[in-house]
């Protein structure tokens, strides 16, 4: 059963400008694992913007309640390169309230736009 669906888009250039203007944004929004590729290199702006869109989409799938922490929804990459969600803290608590037992995530970035779709399943 689908508990919630969320979608979000982010303008990659605008997101990169935000990171430049507000250096603390990188550590406030992303976990150390999200900031690096599986090879240990810093992620580029398009990849970070897609992960930001995923966090927004998670919030929407959960009904956009106040108080969710950015780093409580973590976008990781599995061994095949597929993105997956790890939730904890505020996000895990809201998901449990709604009966969420699994997540589906798709990320994309092209032509200056990053996007994410999240399905919360129960």
> How many other CB atoms are found less than 10 A from the CB of residue 46?
20
Percent of the chain with pLDDT over 90: 93
pLDDT at residue 81, rounded to an integer: 87
Q: Global pTM? A: 0.95
- CA neighbours closer than 13 Å in the CB half-sphere of residue 3: 21
d(CA 95, CA 90): 9
pLDDT-based confidence at residue 82 (cuts at 50, 70, 90): very high
pLDDT at residue 53, rounded to an integer: 98
Strand spans (E) along the chain: 2-11, 73-77, 83-87, 102-110, 113-121
What value does the mean pLDDT take over residues 93-114?
97
pLDDT at residue 23, rounded to an integer: 85
Could you read off the pLDDT of 21-71 as tens digits, one per residue?
998 999 999 999 999 998 899 999 999 999 999 999 999 999 999 999 999
Return the CATH architecture of domain 2-121: Alpha-Beta Complex (3.90)
Instruction: Give the single-character DSSP code of 104.
Output: E
């Amino acid at each position: 059963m689908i508990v919630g669906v969320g979608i979000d888009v982010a303008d990659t250039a605008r997101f990169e400008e935000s990171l430049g203007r507000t250096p603390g944004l990188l550590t406030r929004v992303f976990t150390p694992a999200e900031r690096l590729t599986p090879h240990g290199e810093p992620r580029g702006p398009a990849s970070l913007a897609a992960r930001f869109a995923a966090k927004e989409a998670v919030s929407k799938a959960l009904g956009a309640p106040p108080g969710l922490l950015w780093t409580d929804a973590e976008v990781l990459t599995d061994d095949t390169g597929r993105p997956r969600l790890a939730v904890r803290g505020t996000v895990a608590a809201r998901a449990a309230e709604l009966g969420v037992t699994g997540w589906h995530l798709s990320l994309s970035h092209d032509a200056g736009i990053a996007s994410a779709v999240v399905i919360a399943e129960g």
